[in-house]
Amino acid sequence: MFVIVCFALIVLSSKMFPHNSENNKYLELNRQLASGEVQRYYTECRDFYSKVDRYKKGSDVVFAYEDMPIVIANVKPYYDSQEPLNPENWVNRDISTYYELNSFIVK
């Protein structure tokens, strides 16, 4: 009897609180991890940092969008700037401050 009641509760709760497995972010992220997509994104971000770090202090750095890490689903983009050409926008200013550059922009 206990098993039947538990089964009925499980069925009833699944009807009351449906969970769509197609839109489940945990499953999507696990698929991205299994396919290597997240690891590729990490590698692109790490390579970006290495490229910026090679510039001499005080340089004016201009990066092309093509050289930026490619955004993947379910992950906040590394470079999310509304004004990529403005060296005073907070993202560009913080990158230039951290790496001791004169300026940093993305074209």
pLDDT tens-digit readout, 1-36: 888 888 787 777 666 666 666 667 778 888 898 999
Q: pLDDT tens digits, residue range 33-78? A: 899 999 999 999 899 999 999 999 999 999 888 888 888 888 777 6
Q: Can you say how many angstroms the Cα of residue 32 is from the centroid of all Cα atoms in its chain?
A: 12
pLDDT-based confidence at 101, cuts 50/70/90?
very high
